[in-house]
Amino acid sequence: MTNERSLQKKNAGFKAAEFVEEGMVVGLGTGSTARYAIEKIGRRIKEEDLQIKGIPTSIETKRRAEKAGIELIELDEAEKIDLTIDGADEVDPDMNLIKGGGGALLREKIIAYNSREYVIIVDPSKVVDHLGESFDLPVEILSLWQQCISDHVEDLGCSSVLRKEDGELYRTDNGNNILDCDFGKIKEPKKLSQKLNSIPGVIENGLFLDMADRIIIGKEKGFREMI
């Protein structure tokens, strides 16, 4: 990652952390941009004696949040999530997203669904005209009968590969696998999302539609917003 890209991510993450207020329950996203928000929230806890509780979207985020000094709870312990801060792999002009590059899409979508405000932080490279134009769509699938499930997914008009890590099949924190699906430019994301989730064995897909309330796009100096 270039220094320019790192600075863009940092500016986005630090800005989003400013929305955290005393007493909030905060959903904590996964990925390289979300870690900057977690870092800044941790600083605010130490410097301002800020009292909040966090809900992590992955095991990785749990570790980072604990290191930052953020008190963590489980979703079932929270009456509400006031604010969630997370990254994205693509953002289109309607503020729809592709997520799942970090493998946490299922937990991220559950947390997003249960949040009063959902803030997305990205660098400018993630902003696209059409979803799917620069990033394959992640689809979390059951680890059993992968070939059968992937065949049905490909029947919807994509080519797909099972994600691997260090030469082994990638496993999500939930014990499932991920299909990375190349649909090209996705013209009807809502229909595609519905069709994917109707396939038995598909757990969830990485299309996050009509969910984001605010997009913060980091720049070398400052940021810009989509609302």
Q: Do residues 211 and 97 lie in contact, with contact meaning Cβ atoms separated by under 8 Å? A: yes
Other Cβ atoms within 10 Å of 70 Cβ, number: 24
Angle at 25 (CA atoms; ends 203, 52), nearest 5 degrees? 140
* Spatial distance between the Cα atoms of 82 and 19, rounded to a whole number of angstroms: 10
Spatial neighbors of 38 by CB under 8 A, at least 6 apart, are 13, 28, 61, 64, 65, 68, 70
Spatial neighbors of 146 by CB under 8 A, at least 6 apart, are 162, 177
Placement of tokens 């029947």 in the chain:
155
Task: Give yes or no: 168 in active site.
Answer: no
Catalytic residue among 90, 108, 140, 204: 108
What would the DSSP string read from start to end of 43-85?
A: HHHHHH----EEEESSHHHHHHHHHHT--B--GGG-S-EEEEE
Tokens describing residue 134: 């620069």
- DSSP secondary-structure letter at 128? -
* Spatial distance between the Cα atoms of 50 and 18, rounded to a whole number of angstroms: 12
Placement of tokens 């260090």 in the chain:
166
User: Which residues are catalytically annotated?
Assistant: 108
